[in-house]
């Protein structure tokens, strides 16, 4: 789907479908009012008849309205004007685009930029429309022998009657496009089955991405990781026949001496649990255990497309977690790259083991901040559900920045504590510490484990176990938290 900005009177815009909003009080938005005037009151008449009451998310499609150049007019219910905020804007844009998509219209023009959303500028509104359109039109049919039929809607205009906000709308559309493309990459990688999306596949995809977007890339092999003494990471791959990889991607948007932001993504391409094997139910969903890695690749793609004036390093430690004769056993003790020893009491707590060494590796970049992204704990889903990701940080400013970026992109996070009091749960009788901390506060103790490898820099951890994919009828990767991370980087680049 393509997007552009268009500045024209809604009644004169020659397009297959023009969409405009109506509030629950039957108050017309500016665009709906202009359409109504051109149509000699036909829209107000419809409202009076009770056929459209402006309830949020409802739509009415009208054909060949007199005086209007577009073939179709789509009225979109905006709900109560006083309650119209971020969520309402996004829901209405989605509802409008979904309704257009059901028609045969090839192009559509949305007059949503004029709707007032407290605290949000025109660029934000454009981004939201583009992201909503990309989301509803996303299909994953690469593994089907018969491809899904293309929907006819191919072109969406982010429209306004005046050119007043032209620059902001154009910028927001461009940003939305870049974020959407990053999300699509992340979703595709997440949705691919684990027999296709192996560590080697993730590394090859990284190399292609680097070539396309002029990033520097390096792929470490098992022997390189052995040289670096990544004993924690390597303990996870031991039961697998797939070779592990460690990808280093570098985007240089600022001066050579500018310290980079480092993103680290968990890339377990399949998590059986290892010897501490998982039960069979829903085990297929453990192909999504590389969604952190996928979000790093998607975010780098977005950052490069936007040409952010910032240096960014992406680290992707990737392997499978399998049982087998050579697999790590509960009770095994390994030495991490940091020199700290870890007693592996549960081989299913493997994400933290690969992240530990990647976080140590991150030190060499003298980062301004490190953010790791991981489908780390089932406990995070128990705590926060599927609405927001868990956020942990060793620095309040960084946590606040990420929280704000999450709110703005509607890819939200909620902070959980990293207090010293929780650290004792990781106590081991045999090694420096254990890789699990018991049933209580499972997401917190996982983050506490990571914190032992991040003492040298500002660090945040995002637990995306509940947000990276959906289960049930709509099973599939969401592309989160690419919007959050890209927004965070955009703000850092401006600062």
Residue 435 CB, nearest approach to ligand BES (Å): 8
Instruction: Sort 362 into a burial class: Cβ within 10 Å, 0-12 / 13-18 / 19+.
Output: buried
CB nearer ligand BES, residue 405 or residue 436: 436
- Residue 167 CA to residue 452 CA, distance in Å, equals 46
Looking at the Cβ atoms of 3 and 449, the one nearer to ligand BES is 449
Least Å from the CB of residue 380 to Zn ion: 12
Examine residue 36 and tell whether it contacts Mn ion (CB under 5 A): no
Which of Zn ion, Mn ion, ligand BES, none sits in contact with 132, Cβ below 5 to 8 A by type? none
Out of 442, 479, 481, 483, which residue is the one contacting ligand BES (CB under 6 A)? 442
The smaller minimum CB distance to Zn ion, of residues 69 and 283, is found at 283
Would residue 66 show up in a list of annotated catalytic residues for this protein?
A: no
C-alpha dihedral, 406 to 122 to 156 to 7, nearest 10°? -170
Does 351 help bind ligand BES (rule: CB under 6 A)?
yes
Q: What gap in Å lies between CA 334 and CA 400, rounded to an integer? A: 35
Gap between the Cα atoms of 366 and 362, Å rounded: 8
Q: What contacts 392, CB < 8 A, 6 or more positions away?
A: 415, 416, 417, 418, 444, 447, 450, 451, 460, 461, 463
Among 114, 135, 242, 289, binds Zn ion (CB under 5 A): 289
Calpha distance 21→95 (Å, rounded) = 11
Least distance from C-beta 200 to Mn ion, angstroms?
21
Radius of gyration (Cα) for the chain, nearest Å?
24
Taking CB under 5 A as the criterion, the residue among 348, 357, 372, 401 binding Mn ion is 348
* From 352, 412, 452, 480, active-site residue: 352
Measured CA to CA, the distance from residue 409 to residue 470 in angstroms comes to: 19
Q: Counting beta carbons within 10 angstroms of the beta carbon of residue 440, is it exposed (0 to 12), middle (13 to 18) or buried (19 or more)?
A: exposed
Q: Tell me if 463 contacts Zn ion by CB under 5 A.
A: no
Examine residue 378 and tell whether it contacts ligand BES (CB under 6 A): yes
How far apart are the C-alpha atoms of 319 and 222, rounded to whole Å? Answer: 10
Among 93, 405, 448, 465, binds ligand BES (CB under 6 A): 465
Neighbouring-strand partners of residue 20: 75
Size of the site for ligand BES (CB under 6 A): 15
Nearer to Zn ion, 271 or 401 (CB): 271
Does 319 bind ligand BES (CB under 6 A)? Our answer is no
Distance from chain centroid for Cα 495: 22
Least distance to Zn ion, CB of residue 268, Å? 5
CA angle 474/478/417 to nearest 5° reads 120
- Which position among 351, 367, 406, 437 is part of the footprint of Zn ion (CB under 5 A)? 351
| CB contact at 8 A, 259 and 309 | no
- What is the spatial distance between Cα 275 and Cα 324, in angstroms, rounded to a whole number? 7
Q: What CA–CA distance (Å, rounded) separates 128 from 172? A: 8
Find the residue with minimal CB distance to ligand BES: 378
Q: Which of 42, 152, 346, 423 binds ligand BES (CB under 6 A)?
A: 346
Q: Does 177 bind ligand BES (CB under 6 A)?
A: no
Query: Which residue from 110, 349, 402, 426 is in contact with ligand BES, where contact means CB under 6 A?
Result: 349
Binding-site string for Zn ion from residue 255 to residue 274, where x marks contact by CB under 5 A and - marks none? -------------x--x---
> Could you tell me which stretch among 166-174, 194-202, 246-254, 348-356 binds ligand BES (CB under 6 A)?
348-356
**Chain residues 472-491 in contact with Zn ion, contact rule CB under 5 A:** none
Q: Name the catalytic one among 12, 250, 259, 278.
A: 278
CA 108 vs. chain centroid, Å, equals: 26
Active site residue 352: yes
Q: Does 271 bind Mn ion (CB under 5 A)?
A: yes
Nearer to Mn ion, 348 or 408 (CB): 348
Among 191, 206, 235, 375, binds ligand BES (CB under 6 A): 375
Among positions 247-276, residues that touch ligand BES (CB under 6 A) are 271
Its sign, for the CA torsion 473, 465, 289, 276, is negative
Give the C-alpha separation, 284 to 470, whole Å: 13
Q: Residue 436: CA atoms inside 13 Å, Cβ hemisphere, count? A: 16
> Pick from Zn ion, Mn ion, ligand BES, none: which does 38 bind, CB < 5 to 8 A by kind?
none
Q: How many CA atoms lie within 13 A of 267 on its CB side?
A: 35
| Least Å from the CB of residue 289 to Zn ion | 4
List residues near Zn ion by CB under 5 A.
268, 271, 289, 351
Active site residues: 278, 352
Q: Which positions touch ligand BES (CB under 6 A)?
A: 271, 289, 346, 348-351, 375-379, 436, 442, 465
Interface residues with Mn ion (CB under 5 A) are: 271, 348, 350
């Amino acid at each position: 789907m393509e997007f552009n900005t268009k500045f024209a009177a809604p009644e004169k815009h020659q397009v297959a479908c023009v969409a405009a909003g109506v509030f629950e009080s039957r108050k017309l938005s500016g665009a709906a009012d202009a359409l109504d005037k051109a149509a000699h009151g036909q829209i107000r008449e419809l409202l009076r008849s009770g056929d459209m009451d402006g309830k949020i998310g409802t739509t009415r499609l009208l054909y060949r309205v007199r005086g209007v150049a577009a073939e179709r007019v789509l009225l979109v219910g905006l709900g109560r004007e006083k309650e119209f905020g971020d969520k309402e804007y996004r829901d209405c844009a989605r509802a409008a685009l979904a309704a257009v998509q059901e028609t045969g219209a090839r192009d559509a023009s949305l007059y949503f930029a004029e709707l007032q959303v407290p605290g949000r500028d025109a660029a934000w509104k454009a981004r939201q429309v583009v992201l909503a359109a990309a989301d509803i039109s996303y299909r994953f049919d690469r593994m089907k022998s018969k491809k899904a039929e293309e929907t006819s809607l191919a072109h969406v205009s982010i429209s306004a009657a005046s050119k007043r906000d032209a620059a902001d709308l154009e910028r927001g559309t461009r940003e939305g496009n870049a974020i959407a493309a990053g999300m699509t990459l992340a979703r595709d990688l997440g949705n691919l089955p684990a027999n296709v999306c192996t560590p080697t596949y993730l590394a090859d995809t990284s190399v292609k991405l680097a070539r396309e977007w002029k990033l520097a890339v390096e792929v470490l092999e098992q022997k390189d990781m052995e040289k670096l003494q990544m004993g924690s990471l390597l303990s996870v791959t031991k039961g697998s026949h797939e070779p592990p990889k460690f990808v280093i991607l570098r985007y240089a948007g600022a001066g050579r001496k500018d310290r980079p932001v480092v993103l680290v993504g968990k890339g377990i391409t399949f998590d059986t649990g290892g010897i501490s094997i998982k039960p069979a139910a829903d085990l297929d969903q453990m192909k999504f255990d590389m969604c952190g890695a996928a979000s790093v690749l998607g975010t780098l793609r977005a950052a490069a497309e936007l040409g952010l004036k910032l240096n960014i390093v992406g680290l992707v430690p990737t392997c499978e977690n399998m049982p087998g004769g050579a697999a790590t056993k509960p009770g095994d003790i390994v030495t991490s790259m940091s020199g700290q020893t870890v007693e592996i009491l549960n081989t299913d707590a493997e994400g933290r083991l690969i992240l530990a060494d990647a976080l140590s590796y991150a030190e060499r970049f003298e980062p301004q901040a490190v953010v790791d992204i991981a489908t780390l704990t089932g406990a995070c889903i128990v705590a926060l559900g599927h609405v927001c990701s868990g956020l942990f940080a060793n620095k309040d400013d960084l946590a606040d920045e990420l929280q704000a970026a999450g709110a703005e992109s509607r890819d939200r996070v909620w902070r959980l504590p990293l207090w010293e009091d929780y650290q004792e749960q990781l106590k081991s009788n045999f090694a420096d510490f254990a890789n699990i901390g018991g049933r209580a506060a499972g997401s917190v103790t996982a983050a506490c484990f990571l914190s032992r490898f991040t003492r040298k820099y500002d660090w945040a951890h995002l637990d995306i176990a509940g947000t990276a994919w959906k289960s049930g009828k709509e099973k599939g990767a969401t592309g989160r938290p690419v919007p959050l991370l890209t927004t965070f980087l955009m703000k850092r680049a401006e600062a």
